[in-house]
Amino acid sequence: MSVLREDFLWGGATAANQYEGAWDVDGKGPSVSDMCTNGSHTTPKRFTPVFEEGTLYPSREATDFYHHYKEDIALAAEMGFKCFRMSINWTRIFPTGMEQEPNEAGLIFYDNVFDELKKYGIEPLVTISHYEIPYGLIVAYNGWYGREVIDCFVRYCEAIFERYQDKVKYWLTFNEINSGTMPMGALLSLGTVKGFSGPINEIPDDKQVRFQGLHHQFVASAKVIKIAHEKYPQFKMGCMCIFATKYPYTCNPDDVLKCQAEMRHMNWFTSDVHVRGEYPTYMNRFFAENDITIVKEPGDDEILKEGTVDFYTFSYYMSNCESADPNTAQAEGGNLVGGCKNPYLKASDWGWQIDPKGLRYTLNELYDRYQIPLMVVENGLGAYDKLEEDGSVHDSYRIDYLKQHIEQMIEAVKDGVDLMGYTPWGWIDVVSASTGEMAKRYGFVYVDKYDDGTGDLGRRRKDSFYWYKKVIESNGEEL
Ligand code: BG6
């Protein structure tokens, strides 16, 4: 007997900006991601608001879900998906973010997608904002730094809630909202890059702007959750954070305290606000020491209390260590975060340290702290795949990675964690968020698309496709 719930939400995750393509079709406006060039593990991608002739902007075509949704959903159904995590592209609905009325053609596209999912009994899990802030809002308000964006977001949510009230039950307000606590979050999450053009690692950092922008996201999230709870009682509203688990590098109390501070700042702060409905007191010291003053309007604290989430979701790829000694060797990469190398762990080709047991530890920590249902909505191995001449892809490394993480997830459930589901990232190959590459693949389904923009977009089942199908069929018993 499987220890997982009978209605466990097995599935896969995607985001419109990395998957949909059709960036200027049927009235869609440009989003921040449409203006990012490709890069690599060693060369940062660039943000260029002015189009450069001859430069590749990988999100613009991506892997073209827009024109392949029927075929892709049929593949998901063939694997037995119960749940399909996707995002709605804000600029398909409100092209600049500032219109008063939604774009009907954009709404129809998602009607079609949800109807297709329903045909196979697959539950959509919709991220409302996943690195797709309208470029119009960057120009007008410097992204989320402008308080005006709260109203634009609320208008967007009201439109999609009303339209899809009978088609979507599970919603996540912001993807990886805690990316705004890090300099890299300024671009994709907060859009506080007005006037900037260049490599994404050269975006000037301004903590005051970032944390003010984050405050506006908190208020926006709480407002729409309150609306959802009052008007659509059938909805389940969740948050989504990166969980980049950190261990003290040694048992030296200095390392332990450094690790605690980083865990709070990076992993706990945003979800404490989402789940508990107030700023945690530990942030006061950080704000004071960094000359950050959060400007709040009357009523903000009340709305945070009134708009708390029903469930908590997170992405989990890796872990790293924290050391108070600046000479400790650094890890070679990570999901938006730095940290030290863990001598007990191996890393992916992109330097992300692979740590399945860290997932069990994390699930336990989260459940102890919040006591609400949890869901792993991203996990996976970005790897180079080799397409064989016969169209097969032998990705045993991916199966190993996922198998080990699912095993630990099951251990966590045995430990008492209430886990709703699991949607590994990029179940079909999509553009990488950090590097803009196609070569960094996560999928069970291979898409014929390459870093020079070539490829016929054909879909092929990798070995992991057949493996995951059995995992779902057996509710996690057959790994
Ligand atoms: C998460 C994001 O950070 O990790 C996704 O929510 C992203 O958008 C995923 O694609 C994997 O990261 P990357 O950089 O390998 O694509």
Rounded to an integer, what distance in angstroms lies between the CA atom of residue 250 and that of residue 62? Answer: 43
Alpha helices in 120-206 (DSSP H): 135-141, 148-164, 185
Q: Averaged over 397-420, what is the pLDDT?
A: 98
- pLDDT for 332 equals 75
Q: With a 6 A CB cut-off, is 335 part of the ligand 1 pocket?
A: yes
Give the pairing of strands 374-378 and 419-422. Answer: parallel
Ligand 1 centroid, distance to 53 Cα (angstroms):
27
Handedness of CA 155, 25, 78, 463 (dihedral sign): negative
pLDDT tens sequence across 180-198: 999 999 999 999 999 999 9
Closest protein CA for atom 14 of ligand 1: 434
Tokens representing residue 144 in the block: 């989320």
Based on the residue annotation, tell me whether 478 is a catalytic residue of this protein.
no
> How far, in whole angstroms, is CA 78 from its chain's centroid?
24
State the average pLDDT for the chain: 97
Q: DSSP code of 187?
A: I
Confidence bin at 79 (pLDDT 50/70/90): very high
Q: Would the pLDDT of 334 be above 80?
A: no
- pLDDT for 338 equals 78
Q: DSSP code of 62?
A: T
The identity of residue 149, as a single letter, is V
Confidence bin at 477 (pLDDT 50/70/90): very high
Closest protein CA for atom 2 of ligand 1: 433
pLDDT tens sequence across 12-56: 999 999 999 999 999 999 999 999 999 998 899 999 999 999 999
- pLDDT for 212 equals 98
Confidence bin at 1 (pLDDT 50/70/90): confident
Please state, for a pLDDT cut of 90, what percent of the chain lies above it. 97
Confidence bin at 331 (pLDDT 50/70/90): confident
Rounded to an integer, what distance in angstroms lies between the CA atom of residue 366 and that of residue 417? Answer: 9
Q: Averaged over 136-141, what is the pLDDT?
A: 98
- State how far the alpha carbon of 372 is from the alpha carbons of 44, 185, 311, in Å: 38, 27, 6
pLDDT tens sequence across 340-361: 999 999 999 999 999 999 999 9
Ligand 1 centroid, distance to 426 Cα (angstroms):
8
Q: Would the pLDDT of 336 be above 80?
A: no
**Number of Cβ atoms within 10 Å of the Cβ of 93:** 27
- pLDDT for 335 equals 67
Burial class (CB in 10 A: 0-12, 13-18, 19+), 9: buried
Q: Averaged over 421-449, what is the pLDDT?
A: 98
Please state, for a pLDDT cut of 70, what percent of the chain lies above it. 100
Rounded to an integer, what distance in angstroms lies between the CA atom of residue 230 and that of residue 249? Answer: 46
Q: With a 6 A CB cut-off, is 432 part of the ligand 1 pocket?
A: yes
Q: Would the pLDDT of 337 be above 90?
A: no
Q: With a 6 A CB cut-off, is 433 part of the ligand 1 pocket?
A: yes
| Cβ-Cβ contacts under 8 Å for 210 (sequence gap 6 or more) | 180, 181, 183, 185, 186, 190, 192
CA atoms within a 13 Å half-sphere pointing along the CA-CB vector of 470: 9
Which of 262, 322, 378, 411 is flagged as catalytic? Answer: 378
Confidence bin at 201 (pLDDT 50/70/90): very high
Based on the residue annotation, tell me whether 78 is a catalytic residue of this protein.
no
Confidence bin at 204 (pLDDT 50/70/90): very high
Q: With a 6 A CB cut-off, is 175 part of the ligand 1 pocket?
A: yes
Tokens representing residue 83 in the block: 């749940």
Token pair 């590459």: residue: 437
Burial class (CB in 10 A: 0-12, 13-18, 19+), 12: buried
- pLDDT for 333 equals 74
Q: With a 6 A CB cut-off, is 176 part of the ligand 1 pocket?
A: yes
pLDDT tens sequence across 374-397: 999 999 999 999 999 999 999 999
Atom of ligand 1 nearest to the CA of 240: 6
Burial class (CB in 10 A: 0-12, 13-18, 19+), 344: exposed
Q: Averaged over 399-412, what is the pLDDT?
A: 98
Quick one: angle between helices 65-79 and 104-119, nearest 10? 20
Q: Would the pLDDT of 373 be above 90?
A: yes
Q: With a 6 A CB cut-off, is 441 part of the ligand 1 pocket?
A: no
